[in-house]
Amino acid sequence: MNILLQKFDTAPFSKISSDDFKPAIKKAIAIAKKEINQIVTNTDVSTFENTVVALDNTGEQLDRITSIFFNLNSAETTDAIQQIAQEISPWLSEFRNDITLNKALFERVKAVFEAKESLNLTTEQSMLLDKQYKGFARNGANLSENDKKTLRKIDAQLSKLSLQFGENVLADSNNFELHLTDEKDLEGLPESVKEAAKTVATQKDKEGWIFTLDYPSYIPFMTYANNRELRKKLAIAMGKKGFQQNENNNEQVVLEIVKLRHQRADLLGYKTHAHFVLEERMAETPEKVLSFSNELLAKAKPAAQKEFQQLSDFAKKLDGIEQLQKWDGAYYSEKLKKKLFDLDQELLKPYFQLENVIDGVFTVANKLYDIVFTEVFDIDTYHKDVKTYKVTDINGNFVAVLYADFHPRKGKRNGAWMTSYRSQQIKDGKNIRPHVSIVCNFTKPVLNETEVPTETKPSLLTFNEVTTLFHEFGHALHGMLANTTYKSLSGTSVSWDFVELPSQVLENWCYEKEALELFAKHYQTGEIIPMKYVQKIKESASFLEGMQTLRQLSFGLLDMSWHGKNPSEIKNVKDFETFAFKDTQLYPDVVENCMSTAFSHIFQGGYSAGYYSYKWAEVLDADAFDYFLEKGIFNKEVATKFKKNVLSKGGTDKPMNLYKQFRGKKPTPDALLKRAGLI
């Protein structure tokens, strides 16, 4: 019997073989179709319960199996899994279309939707009904049969293309390595970085040191390596992903994706893909996004230009650099930061042992939201590095299961993310609690012969990695503290430009003395991080913030350029991108590089026409944290309001309403501009 088709609580990873997925997904699709059919063939008049709630309850088994599958494809992929992903993606896309283009099903939902005013629904019920009705309308339910066919075809193509895009980026990443055998080339690099590179070389049966395009390898090299030519080599390799004359080239893929997205939006009656996407976001329209972006750009650009000049002058004075290039940015920023604040990431790392930071984030969550984390060893995992925790409230009631996967390895994509294996919902009177996972790529501890972390070098995090952990944990809290009736409105099932609020707001605690004292202890001496460092972390937080803001805005504006107008005339990806960057460009262009061909957020992830939401969420998070600062960062009243109105509510109300219930007013950019030192 296929393990995936049996009843299980937590995912039975060790019992699953990749051969189980295809038959299980096929069967689960058939079961879900049957559930849909029961709604459609019900002869009773359509009601909220027998149609809307019944529809929300369909496909549960399919959701669980596919969540396990796609999480493995991101965190522990193999050739076999990638092959299966290519095969099942069209099935799933077709199944989704079978639902959204099911006329009889839509008629039943529409009947409830049209009777909405007389139904006396709660806000949450009303949101569920709206979400379902729009889910149909936005996926072509009101189209003619012919147009529906076209839509299905477009969706199947798009799902294949975005997979292809991701595989090309991964292949180009994996194909590159910087193999060094001369110790002179390592000048400037911290010991821990050299050790990690040596470990990679040893694993590949090579002498010397190997650096890759994985962030824990790439970023330290770009930040510390004195050898400018090697930094250039690595930077160009990073920027060439998907933009080389090989079988992984993404230029055509990008053009096809944007044209198909535009075609799809047009078919559904929207001016552009951005108009289609933003209708369901907190921002609502491309015009609002552009006006928000341009308002920030006007404030940030003069500061960014001034900072760029300061950095250029510094590099010239220090090393006679005539023209600052992209591969110089991180290196000279770090040196200038050290000069101005005498703050070296390597000095801070001993205070951020991974285990202590994990305890720290747990303690912060406990003080704010009264939850307790206990590591458990009886939950099955997909890799020995994965840790598992049982989450309870202070009275011992079960809240959630948390998985945590912290280290890079072959078969795991770059970056950091939160995901879920089971959503929270209330069903048949029972509150089904969520299973949530965070995945990061932090430097591994250096192991001795017996494969246990050595006393000398446990996993020590850079301060950036500390904020990344808090960020992903903020998403995890959104999932774990969910308390809604319907699964499709639970946890992080909120509009994309609201989803980053819980994650970004939690990063603020990393800069506060009161929070740092809980976990920032020297891994050898146990000494708490000196307050002069904390002061410097705070002061340096807005260091080069103008340049940083400009960079984020440039990505958001590039995204809106691809998706906010008709792309049918675009012939050349690089030329188009260069034009889109013209108002935000500081560094000279690098001919061999192209951002779009590896811009996975918008061409593989779900951020198309949504990249602006990082900055949007920063406005929300700065405004929200301002409230905590006003009352105290562990103030129970503010924390309870945040938990009650944001973390537990999921998508049960419009985000602006939820925010105003928490904050008592609409957010303004003032707190962000103040925090960034831009006003």
pLDDT at site 447: 61
The question of whether 472 is a catalytic residue gets the answer yes
* pLDDT attached to residue 448: 56
- What is the per-residue pLDDT across 524-575, written as a single tens digit (0 to 9) for each? 999 999 988 888 888 888 899 999 999 999 999 999 999 999 999 999 999 9
Burial per residue of 430-445, b for 16 or more beta-carbon CB atoms within 10 angstroms, e otherwise = eeebbbbbbbbbbbbb
Return the pLDDT at 56: 97
**What are the Cα distances from residue 559, in Å, to 103, 289, 581, 617?**
34, 11, 11, 17
Mean pLDDT, rounded, of the chain:
94
CA distances, 248 to each of 168, 240, 253, 608 (Å): 5, 11, 10, 21
Q: What is the pLDDT of residue 478?
A: 98
Per the CB < 8 A criterion, the answer to whether 441 and 472 are in contact is no
Q: State residue 679's pLDDT score.
A: 80
Q: Are 468 and 585 in contact (CB under 8 A)?
A: no
Q: Are 68 and 16 in contact (CB under 8 A)?
A: yes
Closest by Cα among 434, 436, 426 to 398: 434
Identify the H or E element spanning 436: strand 435-439
pLDDT given at position 450 = 53
- Please identify which of the residues 465, 472, 512, 577 carries the catalytic annotation: 472
Q: Which two tokens stand for residue 69?
A: 């599958």
Long-range Cβ pairs for the range 370-374 (8 Å, 24+): 370/394, 371/399, 371/480, 371/481, 373/402
What digits encode the pLDDT tens for the residues 629-677? 999 999 999 999 999 999 999 999 999 999 999 999 988 888 998 888 8
Q: Is the pLDDT of residue 446 over 80?
A: no
Is the pLDDT assigned to residue 227 strictly greater than 80?
yes
Rounded to an integer, the average pLDDT of 210-219 is: 95
Residue closest to 265 by CA, chosen among 496, 608, 576, 570: 608
Answer whether 81's CB lies under 8 Å from 72's CB.
yes
Position 316 scores a pLDDT of 98
What pLDDT digit, counting tens, does each position of 478-518 carry? Answer: 999 999 999 999 999 998 889 999 999 999 999 999 999 99
pLDDT for res 668: 85
pLDDT attached to residue 456: 58
Is the model's pLDDT at 449 over the cut of 80? no
How many beta carbons lie within 10 A of that of residue 163, not counting itself? 17
Q: What share of the chain is helix, strand, coil (3-state, %, to 5)?
A: 60, 5, 35
Q: Percentage of the chain surpassing pLDDT 70?
A: 99
pLDDT tens digits for 37-84?
999 999 999 999 999 999 999 999 999 999 999 999 999 999 999 999
Mean pLDDT on 112-126: 97
- Please check the confidence at residue 308 and state whether its pLDDT lies above 70: yes
pTM above 0.75, yes or no: yes
**Contact between residue 286 and residue 564 where contact means Cβ atoms under 8 Å apart:** yes
Characterize 616-637 residue by residue with b for buried, 16 or more Cβ atoms within 10 angstroms of its Cβ, and e for exposed: bbbbbbbbbbbbbeeeebbeee
> What domains can you pick out in the chain, each with its CATH number?
3-142 (1.20.1050.40), 177-239 (no CATH), 350-495 (3.40.390.10)
On whether the CB atoms of residues 223 and 331 are closer than 8 A, the answer is yes
Give 333-400 as a 3 state SS string.
HHHHHHHHHCCCHHHHHHHCEHHHHHHHHHHHHHHHHCEEEEEECCCCCCCCCCEEEEEEECCCCEEE
